[in-house]
Amino acid sequence: MSVPSMPGTGDHTIKNPVLPGFHPDPSICRAGGDYYLACSSFEYFPGVPLFHSRDLVHWTQIGNVLERPSQLRLPRDAPSSGGIYAPTLRHHDDRFWLITTNVNDGGHLLVTATDPAGPWSDPVRLPGVPGIDPDLAWDDEGNCWCTYAGVEQVRIDPRTGQSFGPPRRLWSGTNGAKAPEAPHLYRIGGYWYLLIAEGGTERCHGVSIARGRTPNGPFEPCPDNPILTHRGTDHPIQNTGHADLVQAPDGSWWMVLLGVRPGGGTPGWHVLGRETFLAPVSWVDGWPVVGELSLVLPAPPWPLRPGAVAPVRDDFDLGEPAPCWISPRRRPAEHCTTNERTGWLTLRALGKSLDDPDVMFVGRRQQHLSCRVRTLIDPAEGSGGLAVRLDEQHHYAIEAASGEVRVLVRIGPLHTVVASRPVPDGPLILGLHVAAVQAVNEARTGPDTLSLGFEEPDGTFVELATLDGRYLSTEVAGGFTGRVMGMYASAGTVHFDWFDYEPAPGPRP
């Protein structure tokens, strides 16, 4: 099973985002002709999805960096939007280095690998380094500098986690903007450049930069800061920030960053989470200038592999779930397996519902504004179904038990069954159709609708309920994640023969 990316359109343009769906806080590095990119994963296990590309446009997930319980501990009381924050990925001394923060288990951790597809090492802890959003940079003398949100810096030994001396404040952005974070430090030409995000990760987010002659400064700010922001505009890409720079083999420079695509009326709701976008960068008078950032861009000056986004289907024929499948906090093998019934995914209930932090849920990120999701469930030994989840208090589901299907809704304190229908015993196809709005008729129009139901034996879709999508948005629920769609068990044992995710026509790419 592969995760669909947004491909070139075939007419010398590319579509943004290049990693659609819940892929925030991108960090990128290049090794030869290969690019690698990592993102935040928050409360989900396995953690830190890792992607590979040879053209900066088409990305393939090759694994997850934190895929073992020894690497990633997420306690039951870890809140949604807790867990793993803001990795930095670097290639240095023929090794790949990734540093990130587990805000619910000891703070910063650092792992390494010779092959980015893994395995990655068990983590080295950095108890002397506070904060979040850690960065790694090495100077010509071999010193390793860890810079983090604030913006502060300390020298560390990346192999042991030892820090040397007290943290030193470097530069905290421009004009008193809040939340200076996501620092990345680079040696480019005769300067060290310090790239940060500021303004908060909502509509006022932006990217600013400063430079100095040493990795510890002093740093002078760019006179044109912020070098990227869409605050105060009606641009279709908003919340732009948390960027990282990379140089291509031809010498050109590029920026990856997070952004969102709000839909509907006022104030605009984004439902897929913060996504990874690509923008070109040029240099003028020793400062980076960010080029066009839009939903459609001119293609880079090198060949792009062709192809349309194909439907994604998983028949669960592998010995373990594919890398795109994630679960809240943990996924014990005895409760999630593809080995019990050949060609089926078997889930055994932990928590009693999607409201429970221990729910046995296995999902993948929603990556398209309009899509159709289907799965074949055998609920003979329990109950479970198909759900779209934002967190424990915001989710919709179509659930099957012996002889019945029902639509469940959780919106904050409201938890209710909105529809039910008797069905014959035996396996059943459950469906979820997401349709983005075509036009905003008035200010309170939501971003999309979600229709939940099941299929008759002749393939007819029986819609039990159509729900407003705004209640599964970040603007309603809060937090830092996006929608995740998948299968769950609420009682006993349930089996799933296949899962199909198909992008559907919509008003925007």
Give the number of other Cβ atoms within 10 Å of residue 69's Cβ. 13
Burial of 231 (C-beta count, 10 Å sphere; 0-12/13-18/19+): middle
Distances (CA, A) of 300 to 59, 368, 462: 15, 23, 45
- Torsion angle of C-alpha atoms 47, 52, 56, 59, degrees rounded to 10: -70
Looking at the DSSP bridge assignments, the partners of residue 165 are: none
Query: 25, 55, 378, 392: which is the annotated catalytic residue?
Result: 25
Query: 67, 181, 275, 314: which is the annotated catalytic residue?
Result: 181
Query: CA gyration radius for the chain?
Result: 23
218-227, long-range: CB < 8 A, 24+ apart: 219/170, 219/171, 219/194, 221/171, 221/174, 222/287, 222/288, 223/287, 224/287, 224/289, 225/173, 225/174, 226/174, 226/198, 226/199, 227/287, 227/288, 227/289, 227/290
| Distance between CA atoms of residues 27 and 51, nearest Å | 10
Nearest to 20 by CA among 482, 406, 358, 420: 482
- Catalytic residue list contains 475: no
Which DSSP string do the residues of 189-232 spell out, in sequence order?
A: TTEEEEEEEES-SSTT-EEEEEEESSTT---EEPTT--SEE-TT
Do the beta carbons of residue 440 and residue 240 sit within 8 Å? no
Beta strands in 46-173 (DSSP E): 47-53, 60-66, 84-92, 95-102, 107-113, 124-125, 135-138, 144-148, 152-156, 163-169
- Catalytic residue list contains 133: no
- Type of residue numbered 82: G
| Distance between CA atoms of residues 279 and 192, nearest Å | 21
Q: What is the DSSP letter of 311?
A: P
Active site residues: 25, 181
